[in-house]
A and B are shown apart, each in its own frame.
Chain A
Amino acid sequence: MSATRDVAKQESKAVQETREQERAILPAVDIFEDSGGLTLKADMPGVSSERLDVQVDGESLSIEGKVEIPVPEQMNALYADIRSTRYQRSFSLSSELDPDNIEASLKDGVLTLRIPKREEHRPRRIEVQTA
């Protein structure tokens, strides 16, 4: 496969611009909570860390990624489940979460975001005093 090139690059600019408005794939996510915060995992196969964009704007969290797979030249599609090259999904955060300390990691196409709770919102055990 010497003559490979980027799927996205082989399109003309005009085509690419219409593609920007094309419907993005909604990545499947798991969101779960433990006492320290929330964890979000999103399946974004084909996205490398250079093409991943995680943004927090106020209380909105947005994840976006572009699929980059080198394909041989003059390839014809025989079958396609995936017809877009972009993943996008956004969420609204709530005030007890700490957006400044979000940690993100990407491994084998799975994005993991750790969203901690603010210190004052972590659960504390309340001891019952007996008189």
Chain B
Amino acid sequence: MFPNLGSFENSLFDEFRRMQMDMDQLLGASPWPSGIRAVARGTYPSINVGSTPDQVDVYLFAAGLDPKSLDISIQQNLLTVAGERKRGNGDDVSYYRRERFDGAFRRVVTLPDDVDPDKTSAQYRDGVLHISVQRRESAKPRQIEVK
């Protein structure tokens, strides 16, 4: 009858969540433009991107995924990762908290222009998907010798 009936602590938590949403709304009205592909905070999966002179590394914090369900594609410098995560908790249970992401996701990351889409590798470990894309030889910094 009340699948989500929580404790007092829970309702306090909801209060904070509502406050956070209000904050997002406030910040969203800021004078600074946001990236056209930027997503709301907390979108699954979280992404970190780092670069070195040789390669660009993308880390997706995507716990509990079946790597076979992943669809990773790269076109020029746009990296797209799509997949699906099922909670798989069974049906005959009553929830107190249901915060974990459930369903299909797709995230697009704009990489620097000098990446080489043909040299991409991906591995999944401890719930983190690590995609690394090599940079083009010509874009790497070179030492220029003075004669």
Residue among B9, B62, B93, B112 with the highest chain A CB neighbour number at 10 A: B93
Number of chain B residues close to chain A: CB under 8 A: 42
Contact with A along B42-85 (1 / 0, CB 8 A): 00011111111111110101111100000000000000000000
Q: Are A31 and B51 in contact (CB under 8 A)?
A: no
Nearest-neighbor residue (CB-CB) of A110 within chain B: B64
Q: Does B89 contact A (CB under 8 A)?
A: yes
- Asked whether A81 and B94 contact (CB < 8 A) given A29-B100, A44-B127, A46-B126, the answer is no
Whole-angstrom CA separation of A28 from B52 in the bound complex: 31
Q: How far is the CA of A77 from the CA of B47 in the complex (A)?
A: 11
Of the candidates A45, A68, A74, A80, the one having the most CB atoms from chain B within 10 angstroms of its own CB is: A45
| A20 CB → nearest B CB, Å | 21
Give how many A-B residue pairs fall within 8 Å (CB-CB): 120
B87 within 8 A of A: yes
Q: A97 in the interface, Cβ–Cβ < 8 Å?
A: no
B57 and A72 within 8 A (CB): yes
- Judged by a CB distance under 8 angstroms, whether A78 is at the interface is yes
CB of B54 to closest CB in A, whole Å: 8
Bound Cα distance A25, B69 (Å): 27
Whether A33 contacts B48 in the complex (CB less than 8 A), given A45-B128, A69-B130, A108-B126, comes out as: no
The distance from the CB of A120 to the nearest CB of chain B, in whole angstroms, is 21
B100–A45 CB distance below 8 A = no
In the complex, the chain A residue whose C-beta lies closest to that of B109 is A79
For residue B100, which residues in chain A have a CB less than 8 angstroms away from its CB? 28-30, 41, 43
Chain A residues closer than 8 Å to B126, beta-carbon distance: 45-48, 68, 108-109
Write the residues of chain A forming the contact surface with B, with a CB cutoff of 8 angstroms. 1, 28-34, 38-39, 41, 43-48, 68-69, 71-82, 92, 107-110
12 further A-B contacts with Cβ under 8 Å, apart from A33-B94, A75-B50, A79-B49, are A1-B132, A30-B87, A32-B94, A39-B89, A72-B55, A76-B52, A79-B48, A81-B61, A82-B48, A107-B64, A110-B63, A110-B127
Residues on B facing A (Cβ under 8 Å): 9, 41, 45-57, 59, 61-65, 87, 89-90, 92-101, 109, 112, 124, 126-128, 130, 132
Q: List 5 A-B contacts (CB under 8 A).
A: A30-B87, A32-B96, A43-B100, A45-B63, A76-B52
